[in-house]
Amino acid sequence: MQRRHFFIWGITLLAGHCNLVISSATAQNHPILFVTQMPIPADFATNNAVFGNHLPALQNVGRGGDLYVRYPDGTLKNLTAAAGYGMNGFQGERSIAVREPSVHWSGAKAVFSMVIGAPVRRYQVAAYYWQIYEITGLGKNDAPAITKVPHQPENFNNVSPLYGTDDRILFTSDRPRNGKRHLYPQLDEYELAPTNTGLWSLDPQTGDLFLVAHSPSGVFTPVLDSFGRVVFTQWDHLQRDQQADADARGTGNYGTFNFTSEAENSTPLNNRDEVFPEPRAYRPDLLAGTNLEGHSFNHFFPWQINEDGTEEETLNHLGRHELHNYFNRSINDDPNVSAFVPASSRANKNSIANFLQIKEDPAKRGIYFGVDAPEFATHAAGQIITLNGAPSMNADAMAVGYVTPRETASYTDKPNANHTGLYRNPLPLANGVMAAVHTSETRADRNEGSRPAPVSRYKFRLKMLKKAGEYWTADQPLTSGITKTISYYDPDELVAYSGELWELDPAEVRSRPRPARRAPKLETPEQQILAEEKIDLARLVAYMKQNNLALVVSRNVTTRDKNDQQQPFNLRVAGANTQTLGAAGKIYETAYLQFFQADQLRGWGGMASPRPGRRVLAQAMHEAKAANPANGNNAPAGSVKIASDGSMAAFVPARRAMTWQLTDAAGTGVVRERYWLTFQPGEIRTCTSCHGLNQQDQANQSAPANKPEALRELMKFYKATTGVQQETPSRPAAFQLFDGQPNPFSTATKIRLAASSPLEEARLVIYDMTGRLLWTKMFGTLSPGERNIVWDGKKDNGERVAAGNYFYRLEHRAGRSATKMLTVVR
């Protein structure tokens, strides 16, 4: 078999394994932060589980752990104890648990999450919350100081913090999407268990807080990579409620039901109706008489997003067909639609199930280490893997490397010689050496003691890796073991433990450059439509931000990625000639794209006294402010019509998870989206296709570059319904704004403007694509005549802007303005 080679920093990704060409020495050039935790054998909704790991109660995370630092000479310091936090022995009001330290760009401080307090007597019940703290004084001879990060959401669990490029704090939280307490907690789509609501951004100085990405089943372990992308694991589980299915079939007693709306005073309904996606395979009563296979969807996938919440997508628009070798086809009566993804059709020969605990290699940009682990039984420990995912890497060329043997991806009672234990928290170091958390145990964990005296099978220790044949294995531990005697009420049992603590969540303490901040880009076809329709882009963005809307555009929804063949392709626009045919066989006509929004409507525990929280259900888009052109009385709810050129454009709600499907003229689903996606207020998001192409569609064509006519129709509707005057040709122009020269540019551009009469209180301003003001040139009164203004691609504060599209605007007191576009390249 021919092998494909990708040569990257001391790593050769091969078809069968991953060779790390690094020394097996335990050289450590920089300090390493890590945390200790009391071992808890349970693995559902506990602190180190794959999901639901944000809960702070004593049964979820024990008390008595600390934040430690290991210096290069091998010495250890208990940082939390040195700063006056935590306690030994019985864990009372001053007890703590800690998790997930993340180091600042300067290397001089770090943020981490900590929960404080425990019951001081049996049966005492109290509420505890993970909160974010910052620590300074990390040096060997420094006195550490810990302060709570101000303005963070109180009475919610805030975990996985990290610094943004502008020193905002990015983190995950279980704060409801809109902050409404009656929706707390958000319940996941799998077990109706509490989950975090997604990724958040906080300015600690001002308290400005916004939802970066809304996730119905949770976001985990975000990092900010060297390219300025926030990369994270998202739990993608867009399927119907299995508890409601069990209740409907009489095999469950969960008491599931629907609320009429998200409102606090909404009425419980004696039904559990769902409209999207299609039923699961376990509901033959609902699938009878259809061609539906039955939809099951459950994986932990790598995602990316800009810090401002724009351009959310899977990493490099990676699809399931690039990482998995099998998943359900959507229909069962078309031989073109397959459940299998042949390895021969793609660069990646190494299939994985999940991608957890992502870390970018500091010695080679764009290489990401992670863990493929089962959902339960191993505390998210499994096989260390790599993925080449720099922004320049097309998804068709992205390949997984196996760092540890494939056998380590799961647990077994009968390990073979290749199973070297279970791994988590991979930590590639700046000097080319790698550390990880490891246990030599291969079995599923369980409590081999009792509830009051738990004994875990696992001994998680921080270790270096060494080469052992084709793969890598755990080498020397970085500590001699950290022991502690602990007891606490949980709350009706006095739990006691004495022994080694788990060592988890390592982070290297070193300075590193801040990446350039990424900005969204508006591409040429969409720019052309806006220019032809004389749309003032600044006003359009302001309108969307005021109404909490985003604008989404597709150029030709009949095209789909060539290797994505688990859904129908061979698509044609109903009543038009636009089509993309990739194989002989059935042709599917599409007429509408129907949007669904994530509403928290599903309750459980019975209508009389439901349990706290609600699960998300997909509901046809109904946000009143998301006004789109009427598309006929028979169109499906929440839909927009597909234009004759295959394009689509729609206003949609922002900062709320959205999904969609292509339907035929009768409103029956043809191609159903399998992911939730979040848009930001003012964002203009373009996708070339229904499922964007990596390189080619099924007809071997490249990505569509047509001007989307659906966007033209939407802009005409926008002008007509908002009353916004985009231009006033009947009035003589008091000024003119000309194209920048050069444009695009990398270092500086010259902006020419001309006034025919004095303009009072005039200014030239530059905005990014979300409408954020970046640079201002004040004129006072602008005298008649022409002048050239040079912009060097920097903000008012001197910081260089990222590559992307920006609009510049000449404004004055009379209220008229002119706007044009600039493109910065780096």
Q: What DSSP string describes 199-218?
A: EEEE-TTT--EEEEEE-SS-
- What value does the mean pLDDT take over residues 280-295? 95
Delineate the domains of the chain, giving CATH numbers in brackets.
Answer: 6-238+297-329+345-508 (2.120.10.30), 524-722 (no CATH), 735-824 (2.60.40.4070)
Of 339-353, 454-468, 718-732, 773-787, which gets the smallest average pLDDT?
718-732
- What value does the mean pLDDT take over residues 557-561? 94
CB 522 within 8 A of CB 821: yes
pLDDT category of residue 677 using cuts at 50, 70 and 90: very high
Strands 614-620 and 186-187: parallel
Tens digit of pLDDT for each residue in 405-457?
999 999 999 999 999 999 999 999 999 999 999 999 999 999 999 999 999 99
CB 280 within 8 A of CB 239: yes
Instruction: Give the whole-angstrom CA distance, residue 744 versus residue 463.
Output: 49
Question: 64 — alpha (psi -120 to 50), left (phi > 0) or beta?
Answer: left
Structure token digits, residue 715? 């802009």
Residue where the block lists tokens 């129709």? 713
The mean predicted confidence, pLDDT, of the chain is 92
Question: What is the distance of C-alpha 657 from the center of its chain?
Answer: 11
pLDDT category of residue 6 using cuts at 50, 70 and 90: very low
Task: Fill in the amino acid letter for 296.
Answer: S
- What value does the mean pLDDT take over residues 169-188? 98
Q: Return the DSSP state at 390.
A: -
**What per-residue confidence (pLDDT) applies to 115?**
98
Structure token digits, residue 637? 């709810």
Structure token digits, residue 681? 């207020």
Tens digit of pLDDT for each residue in 801-818?
888 778 888 887 655 677
- What value does the mean pLDDT take over residues 750-770? 83
Strands 471-477 and 483-489: unpaired
pLDDT category of residue 214 using cuts at 50, 70 and 90: very high
Residue where the block lists tokens 């300067």? 106
Strands 571-573 and 588-590: parallel
- Put simply, whether the predicted model's pTM sits higher than 0.75 gets the answer yes
Confidence check: pLDDT of 743 > 90: no
- DSSP letters spanning 323-361: H-SB---SBSS-TTS-SB--GGGSS-----S--EEEEE-
Tens digit of pLDDT for each residue in 37-47?
999 999 988 99
Structure token digits, residue 343? 């390895």
Confidence check: pLDDT of 23 > 80: no
Confidence check: pLDDT of 325 > 90: no
Instruction: Give the whole-angstrom CA distance, residue 340 versus residue 810.
Output: 56
Structure token digits, residue 572? 């044609």
